[in-house]
Amino acid sequence: MSLKNILKYLSAIICVLAIAGIKPALAQDKGDDDSDNDEKAVSTTLIPGSKTGVFDEKAKFGFVVNNPTGDEQTGTVSYQVFTMTDKKLDSKTVNVKIGKNSKERYDFEIPEAKAGFYKVNFMVNVTDYDDTTRRAFGIRPEELRSQYPKPADFDAFWDNAKKELATVKPDFKVTYLPDSTRDNRKVYRFEMKSLDNLTIRGYLTVPKVGGKNKKFAVLLGLPGYQVSLPPMFGTDNDLAIITLNVRGQGNSRDVIHTMRDEYIFYHIDDKNKYVMRGVIMDCVRAVDFIFSRPELNHDQIIVSGGSMGGFLAIATAAVDHRVALCSAQNPILSDVNNLNGEVDWPLIDIRKYIQARPALSFSKVMHNLDYFDTKNFATMIKCPTLLGMGLLDPIVPPNNAYIDYNNLSSKKHLIIFRDLGHEVGYPYKVYEGRWMRDTFGLF
C-alpha cells in the first residue's frame, strides 16, 4: 500500500471519528488571514518563537504590522496574558508609528515562571485598523501533574468490568454486504453481545486480494460523541478496517437511544452503570471479535479515534493489552476535575442533570468520573502511544491533554498543533500512517 493511500484512509477516520456537532475553536483569527482584506488594508502576522507553542522559560512572539496604505499609522501594539480560566496575569503596550507602504515587527518576551499553558491576546490599535489575535502557549508542560489522584481501586474496577464481560457469550454474527462491496474490498456488518447482553454492531472491510494464509493488520476505528460510523475503505492490500458503533450510537441504539445531550450523563450517578463503562467494554469485545477472525493478525491491532474516540482509544489500550498501538487525538474526559471553569462541555450538560436531582451531588458525580478519566487510563497503557492535541481546543484544554501524555509510561510521541482547536492537522496523519506501517512491517 502506498503512503498516499494510507494517509487517505487515516485522514478519513480522523475526520469521521471527531466529535460531531460541538463547534471547534477557530484555527485562524481575523488578523492572521488577509484573504478577505483589500490589497491596501493594514494586516498583522503573528510569528511564534516555537513551532509547537511550547517554551522552556519565556514565550517569544514576533508581531508584524503591515501597512500597505499611503497613510501613516499611529497607535499601539499590545499583548495580554491570561490563565486558562481567564484570570489576567500580565500585559504590555507599545506605542507605534508605522510609515506608509511599510511594515514593522515588534518582538515580545513573556515571562511566566509557573509550568502550564496560558492564553495570550495580541492587539493592534492604529489609525485605520483594530484587531486581536488569540493564541495559547506552554511553559515546561512536561512538569504538569494532576492534583487529583487515581482511585486506589481503579485497576480493580476495570478488572471486574472485564470479568463481567467475559460472562457474556459474544455470539458473533457476520453478514456479507455485496451491495456495499467495492472493487478492492469486501464489506461485512458484524454484531456481537457485549456487557449487559446488549447487541453491538460495526463494519469490517477486508482487501479482496490475499492467499489462503494471508492475515491482515487491523485498524479499529472508535467513534466520536454521538457519531454513526459507516464502513471505511482503503486501496491497500495489507490492512483490515473495523469501524465500531458502541452502545447508544449509530446502528447500536436498540436499548440506549438517548437525546444527544443526555448521552454523556446516562446513569452517571452509578459508576457501575454509567454508559461509558459499557462503551469501553464494547471496545474490548471488538478486540475479542478481531481475535475470533482467522484472517486478521491478532498481533497487529491499532486503535485510533478523535475526541470521544481518542478517549476510547486510550481506555481500550489501557484495559486490553492485546492492543499493539494506540493513536488518540484530542481525547475528552481528560483530568475531568480540572475541567471546571475552563470549558463548558461536558460539565454544562452534567450540571443540568444534577440540578434536576437534588439528592445527587456534584462531588459524587465527579468521584464517579474519576473511574473514567483519561489521565488515569494513561497510567495503565503498555503499548506505544501517539497523542495529538490543539492548543486552542475548547473541549480538551492543553493542560489536561498534556497531563494525559505525562501519565504515559510506555513509548510515546506527542504532536502539538499550536493554531488548531478540537482537531489535528495533516502532519498527524502523515506520522500516524508511517508509524503504523513501520511498526507492523507493512511495506
Q: What CATH class is the domain 30-143?
A: mainly beta
* The CATH homologous superfamily of the domain defined by 3-24+147-440: Alpha/Beta hydrolase fold, catalytic domain (3.40.50.1820)
Average pLDDT taken over every residue of the chain: 90
Model's pTM, two decimal places?
0.90
Round to whole Å and give the CA distance between 325 and 362. Answer: 35
Task: Tell me the pLDDT tens digit for each residue of 194-224.
Answer: 999 999 999 999 998 866 788 999 999 999 9
**Across residues 184-189, what is the average pLDDT?**
93
Residue 22 has pLDDT above 60, yes or no: no
Residue 128 phi/psi, 5° resolution? -115, 15
Round to whole Å and give the CA distance between 227 and 19. Answer: 7
> What is the pLDDT at residue 151?
97
Task: Tell me the pLDDT tens digit for each residue of 121-149.
Answer: 999 999 999 999 999 999 999 999 999 99
CA distances (Å), origin 340, targets 184, 329, 346, 352:
48, 21, 10, 14
Task: Tell me the pLDDT tens digit for each residue of 348-403.
Answer: 999 999 999 989 999 999 999 999 999 999 999 999 999 999 999 999 999 999 99
Q: What is the DSSP letter of 23?
A: P
> What is the pLDDT at residue 202?
98
> What is the pLDDT at residue 5?
44
> What is the pLDDT at residue 9?
41
Give the whole-number percent of the chain exceeding pLDDT 90. Answer: 84
Amino acid, res. 81: V
Residue 118 has pLDDT above 90, yes or no: yes
**Across residues 72-81, what is the average pLDDT?**
96
Residue 28 has pLDDT above 50, yes or no: no
> What is the pLDDT at residue 39?
63
Q: Is 261 exposed, middle or buried (0-12, 13-18, 19+ CB in 10 A)?
A: middle
Round to whole Å and give the CA distance between 109 and 37. Answer: 29
Helix (H) or strand (E) holding 94: strand 88-98
> What is the pLDDT at residue 42?
94
> What is the pLDDT at residue 288?
98
> What is the pLDDT at residue 211?
67
Q: In the structure, what pLDDT confidence band is assigned to residue 342 with cuts at 50, 70 and 90? A: confident
Residue 76 has pLDDT above 60, yes or no: yes
Are 3-24+147-440 and 30-143 in the same CATH fold? no
Q: In the structure, what pLDDT confidence band is assigned to residue 13 with cuts at 50, 70 and 90? A: very low
Residue 408 has pLDDT above 60, yes or no: yes
Give the whole-number percent of the chain exceeding pLDDT 70. Answer: 91
> What is the pLDDT at residue 210?
67
Among the ranges given (6-20, 144-158, 268-282, 425-439), the one the predictor scored with the smallest mean pLDDT: 6-20
Q: Is 181 exposed, middle or buried (0-12, 13-18, 19+ CB in 10 A)?
A: middle
